Amino acid sequence: MDIFAFVLLSSSLLLFFFLVSDAANTDSITKSQSLSEGMTLVSKDGSYALGFFSPGNSGYRYLGIWYNNIPVRTVVWVANRLNPINDSSGMLVAWNPIVQLLDSGNLVLREENEENPEKYLWQSFDYPSDTWLPGMKLGWDLRTGLERRLSTWKSPDDPSPGELSWGIELHNYPKIVMNKGTEKFFRTGPWNGLGFSGVPDLKDNPVYTYDFVINSDEVYFIYNMIKNSVISRALLNETSSSYERYIWVSEDKKWSLYLSMPKDKCEGYNLCGPYGNCIIDTTYSWVNGSLSLDECRVKCLNNCSCTAYANSDIKNGGSGCAMWFGDLIDIRQVAANGQDAYIQDVYIRMNASEQVNHKEEKDKQKVKVIVIVVVAIAVVFGVLLIPYCICKRTNFREKMENNVMIDQNIEGQSEDMEVPFFTLATIVIATNNFSSYNKLGEGGFGLVYKGTLIDRKEIAVKRLSPKSGQGLSEFKNEVILITKLQHQNLVRLLGYCIEGDEKMLIYEYMPNGSLDSLIFDQMKAKVLGWSMRFNIICGIARGLLYLHEDSRLRIIHRDLKASNVLLDSKMNPKISDFGMARIFGGDQIEGNTNRVVGTYGYMAPEYAIDGLFSVKSDVFSFGILLLEIISGKKN
């Protein structure tokens, strides 16, 4: 718990205390009053009680809040989770303000004459235990840095924090994350306006409604009951390693489990690893009656577990999509005859090697089959036959054999670029075919994707757009330049790729992204204190000094800006994007160009107007960048 304006006393503390008997069975205690063993505070509506208790078989005493009108003792909050009392002499003392138990189950500390009923000096809702009550915020107060997070009891006898915790992870799109110790155990997708994607259970329903709030002051998730007559609570369970919601059933006098997450192993965080696709609660087949056969083919090819596809309905020329996964069972090949009404064309996926070995049969991939009535019913109506879980990690070999053979027309590979060459196929696999989920950012040059190589090394792939204006010579210029530059404040180039129209640069991955994504985001910028901003400024200055004076080449960057400064895991800045850079040799200190490149707003006037550039041009850009870092405002 945080700093208290009321004090919890025990016989082990040599402190004097007052005993006021009339504090029992009221909702509050005031100046110099106390709450001792055998006494309780009860909220005005009688829903909650505050008092001392011993959990399970424990001999220790704790101050806690529980449901007052439920015969099964259900504790929802514990004050001294880490500091149990050894005997029955515990006491809660209020010194000056009022300590009050609200009808919501929130224990608050407030001034006696405070006109705003929701203004508290302290509240238990800011320091939850394992239970999430209606009206309780889970998330962050960005003004104070306070995080409200659930944590399990270690056991039914021990309310001290266990391994499991549940809270909101701050991102561009915040999400709920369940941690087991320091490792992620389960997470939702980001909030999509109606709920957290990927978790349909966390949405409004007839019993309660959810709300998600994100602004410059707070980021939190909250729920409220629609019917006050219904008693519901959510909690973390250490034993089952799950988030659970219960409804009180008065007729049965017990808590009934309403939902539990994760539902199955597939919801575990990173269960199947990169490129994995976890499939559970499904059959050996999948049906969608609205897709065409061509759309069905594409969907099957995009799923590495798909082994065959066909029309789900063969009437009137065929319609719909049916896909099979795993081994194909109960399929028979027959000759076409009078039984055509029962025959269906099934398109079976084959390895590329098999197709090469059977060129003469590559146009004969249709297999005539009779679909047994039981199987047909299972396919059409989606009957769940055998639930199974597939964790399939796609590697390079599988992708190349099962999907497409890339015709490699590699340009520039033979030249000595002094860094490794990556094939297009390797990059496609690493980025999951340039999935939008892996996109890190974009600019005039094109898109940047996060990728993971087969050896699990994380990379950033800069995929140049044909419209970027950076031709092959400028691309090679950037490769050669970065290869020759080695400095802690310059991004490191790991390799490159040139195939057909594709030109890509492979950099070391920077976990904290580009500087502009932090300093221009009101929520994220709060984590950048002045010392951190100062270190970033100094790091950029060191990198720029190296380019201008300390490297074996004199380099003018010509496009220094916030989006071209990347931050590593320790928030160290690294200058990137040398596609527009120029090399000066000997005593040359300035140049001239008829083609002005870079970003207006960061350009020195003499460069933007007359095409004159020098180290001073970069210094001008650095000055603009410095003002942006300090002010948090974009030029």
Last residue of a domain, one of 271, 295, 327: 271
Judgement on whether residues 253 and 297 belong to the same structural domain of the protein:
no
Burial 232-266 (b: 16+ CB within 10 A, else e): bbbbbebeebbbbbbebeeeeeebeebbebbeeeb
Could you tell me where the DSSP H helices lie in 369-437? 373-381, 396-402, 424-430
pLDDT for the residue numbered 99: 92
Dump pLDDT digits (tens) for 454-485. Answer: 778 899 998 887 665 556 666 777 787 777 78
Q: What are phi and psi of 432, to 5 degrees?
A: 55, 50
Judgement on whether residues 336 and 444 belong to the same structural domain of the protein:
no
Judgement on whether residues 496 and 537 belong to the same structural domain of the protein:
no
Give domain status of residue 411, yes or no: no
Last residue of a domain, one of 508, 526, 556: 508
pLDDT band at residue 430 using 50, 70 and 90 as cut-offs? confident
Give domain status of residue 616, yes or no: yes
Give domain status of residue 361, yes or no: yes
Judgement on whether residues 247 and 339 belong to the same structural domain of the protein:
no
Judgement on whether residues 135 and 92 belong to the same structural domain of the protein:
no
The Cα–Cα gap between 290 and 376 comes to 17
Judgement on whether residues 91 and 139 belong to the same structural domain of the protein:
no
Judgement on whether residues 576 and 452 belong to the same structural domain of the protein:
no
Average pLDDT over residues 1-27: 43
Judgement on whether residues 367 and 233 belong to the same structural domain of the protein:
no
**Secondary structure string (H, E, C) spanning 290-328:** CCCHHHHHHHHHCCCCEEEEECCECHHHCECEEEEECCC
The Cα–Cα gap between 454 and 477 comes to 28
For 22, the 3-state DSSP assignment is helix
Based on DSSP, count helices (H) and strands (E) in the chain, helices before strands. 10, 41
The Cα–Cα gap between 329 and 343 comes to 16
Average confidence score pLDDT of the chain: 76
Domain residue limits at 449: 424-508
Judgement on whether residues 294 and 190 belong to the same structural domain of the protein:
no
Dump pLDDT digits (tens) for 287-343. Answer: 777 788 888 888 888 777 788 888 877 777 788 888 877 666 545 454 444 444 445
Give domain status of residue 431, yes or no: yes
Give domain status of residue 203, yes or no: yes
In the predicted structure, residue 263 carries a pLDDT above the cut 70: no
Last residue of a domain, one of 240, 271, 302: 271
pLDDT for the residue numbered 318: 82
pLDDT for the residue numbered 102: 95
Dump pLDDT digits (tens) for 48-95. Answer: 999 999 999 999 999 999 999 999 999 999 999 999 998 887 888 877
Dump pLDDT digits (tens) for 542-587. Answer: 999 999 988 877 888 888 999 899 998 889 999 988 878 888 766 6
Average pLDDT over residues 147-168: 93
476 marked ligand binding residue? no
Judgement on whether residues 233 and 323 belong to the same structural domain of the protein:
no
Active-site amino acid positions:
559
Judgement on whether residues 382 and 284 belong to the same structural domain of the protein:
yes
Rounded to a whole number, what is the distance in angstroms from the first to the last CA of the chain?
A: 43
Contact 37, 90 (CB under 8 A): yes
Looking at residue 435, which CATH number applies to its domain? 3.30.200.20
Give domain status of residue 494, yes or no: yes
Structure tokens at 357: 């070995």
The Cα–Cα gap between 110 and 91 comes to 19
Per the structure, how many domains does the chain have? 5
pLDDT for the residue numbered 352: 59
pLDDT band at residue 499 using 50, 70 and 90 as cut-offs? confident
Give domain status of residue 373, yes or no: yes
Judgement on whether residues 327 and 250 belong to the same structural domain of the protein:
no
DSSP 185-232: EEE---B-SSSBTT-TTSS--SSEEEEEEESSSEEEEEEEES-TTS-E
Q: What is the pTM of this model?
A: 0.46
Give domain status of residue 584, yes or no: yes
For 523, the 3-state DSSP assignment is coil
For 400, the 3-state DSSP assignment is helix
